Amino acid sequence: MHTTPEVLDLVKSVFQRAVTDGAWRVTEHHRLTRSQFERWFVDRNV
């Protein structure tokens, strides 16, 4: 199984989600509202 480090910054009601590569370089980032984050969290494949 390949794991991808992810970082979450919890700021008020907005979540900043960053996906990194193996060297911890940010490869993508997303700004999510609380409801968008909840949907992402429930739908993610773990």
Give start and end residues of each alpha helix (H) in the chain: 34-43
- Mean pLDDT value across residues 31-36: 88
pTM for the model: 0.56
Which residue carries 């992402």 as its tokens?
40
In this structure, what DSSP letter does residue 44 have? S
The per-residue pLDDT for range 1-33, each reduced to its tens digit, is 566 677 777 666 888 888 888 888 899 988 889
Residues contacting 11, CB < 8 A, separation 6+: none
Q: Tokens representing 30?
A: 């997303």
17/24 Cα distance (integer angstroms): 14
Taking the domains of the chain in order of start, what are their residue ranges? Answer: 6-43
How sure is the predictor about 45, in pLDDT bands with cuts at 50, 70 and 90? low
